[in-house]
Chains A and B, each alone.
Chain A
Amino acid sequence: MSNISVHERDIVIPGEVLAEGMDYLPGENTYRENEKIYSKSLGLVSISGRVLKVTPLSGPYVPKIDDKIIGKVIDITMSGWRIDTNTAYSALLNVRDATTRFVKKEEDLSQILAIGDYVVVRIVNVTSQNLIDVTMKEPGLYKVSGGRIMEINSQKVPRVIGKQGSMISLIKTKTGCEVTVGQNGLVWVKGTPEGELKAEQAIKLVEEKSYLEGLTDRVGKFLEQ
């Protein structure tokens, strides 16, 4: 006899019972103990058929291959640069993954990327110890110039991007800004100072109210002001 004690989009806390009985399956951020399924996070319940999952409202970014992230150059090494990813793990960008041109051995790497520069890169490898390799050598990857970098919780990135990019397109159109969202929660915004501030506030609004429905309308209204 199975029994579900929550609804779609309910907020649950760690240890809260989601369902009882073997009809339901524990999805992401849940676990089964004896016959009950519990939440492992403070988050929103999501029900897909028999699978119960919890989408955390906040949480650390776990690096994944193919993710596009934004990081800051913190060190220059023998063969490239070390990038701070705003997590517990830094990433390595090898010089051959940074540029297509031939770089001489004695060349001063800080002329290409200096400490403090922000870069948009893609993760190409993650080891079991979370050592990360990234590349910047593809279209859509670059060194950031101008504009401002802001930070949101990485769990909110899907909401900020929106279904098929709808939320981020709305923000870009209404503020006239370029916006690049890193999966690690760093976001780059570039436009006029007023446009950038408006975009930043809109993104913060999505982050804060991510658990509500009708968010696109709400953000649209905010951007009209």
Chain B
Amino acid sequence: MHRPDPTPPPKRGLTRLTRRAALRQAAAALASTVGAAGSATGANAWAAPGPGGPTDTDRPPLQIVGPWEIGGLDPARSGYFFNRLEVAETLVGAAADGAPLPALATGWRRSDDGLEWRFTLRPTARFHDGSAVTAAAVAQSLRRAQVAPALLHPVPIRSIEADGTGTVVIRLTQPFGGLLSQLAHSSTQVLAPSSHAADGRVLAIVGSGPYRVVSIEAPQQMEVAAFDGFDGPQPAIRRVRYLSAGRSETRALMADSGQADLAYGLDPASLRRLGQRPQLRIRQVTLPRTMILKLNAGLPSLGDVRVRRAMSLAIDRAGIAHALLRDPSLAATQLLPPTLQGWHNTNVAPLAFDLPEAAALLAQAGWRATSEGVRNARGEALALRLRTFADRPELAIVATALQAQWQRLGIAVQVSIANSGDVPLGHRDGSLELALAARNYATTPDPTATLRQDFGPQGGDWGAMGWSDPAVVAALAELGTGASIPARRAELQALVTATLQSQLPVIPVAWYRQQVAVSRRVEGVELDPLERSYRLTSMKWRA
């Protein structure tokens, strides 16, 4: 699918023209073979009309294409779709830096002991079935989100109750600072009572956002339209359609042909090509997601911090970022990327690539080089198994690059590509040695909750294994209560990030950037670094 590099500028227009003309003729011949129906059926029916076209209600929907499939209606499964498309609202919203914002709740108050939270609801809010958003409905919806893996599950909640029609009261058994952050997660989105069957199953998505669901054809397609009864400003884009396309080639060609207005999940090669198209722009944002190497520090080899450091020093992050991710700035210098303010520590020494230093560390730790190439200590070879999974295509490629880089150091690594569920499973049964994964540290807008899961006393499914640091656990617990003053918070955050950098319970490899091809037909497109929203309400068609 690669186009050859364009010839020098003066000739380029000419070759393009003739090639295009030739292709048009070929296509015309092809279309006539199929029969007149082929070319005549609603030519460009899916493409938006040009300037001076019909009024907005006649316009075709804004088309979004992405790799995500709709896995069901339960908010814990595909709830993020209904948040991204602004169909369902959460009690609390989030700014780009993770700071809580009013959403369905206009404000909140915490009791002095931190055990009672009172949320005031937007009095004019209406569900899509026309009913008012009452405190009783919200409380009932939130109680459903207390079942794993919905994110209220780990919160120490005593009760969720309505106080009158406009206030929801959440009582806790102990102070919990991440509550606002958890209430911004899509699994806690508020659905109308009419969404649920008697047994609690979700039958329809009846939310309270500016868009309402028109149709859902799981797993691939969904259409939403502006909800006339929304109590805020009406969105300029009246209809939006989402299509899930499994192949990035398809998504790129949909953007190229003008069928898609926003194309997510593009591969580096397509991005470069699409960037040259006059009708498209590429928008990008760094995500709070890091490609990490989870390792089992319970093993004699990996329990030694010198071995972990040596493995980290042997990784050519700049090379991986440049050659495989096609973006040199994605080489991770520490676990959390610069966008996570407060959690990116500028005072720690960045992770480096230094093979001689790595070899020296391994020798110090007793792993001697042998004639077969694999290092050896007390008769045992330094051989490890690495698991990764296919959901993210770059993981398998980076895994093999790591394998090759460690081989130069004398560490034999065997790569197996399986299912994402095998990583938590391997953590539980202790069989995991190394795993390469992409961890989202802002599942909820505040990373504290994710870090507590990952670096707790027993480690975490996607975090440390066989490693724990009492100071880190205590610091995260204190941050978790949410009571600390800003200076104390900064001190605790610095302690956590510095310890993770020196101890390497997980080894950071690369950061992530989301790149989206956007049609010039659309204006006002902003990307959400927290991936919570497509921000449809701020978009409009170009006049």
On whether the two chains bind one another, the answer is no
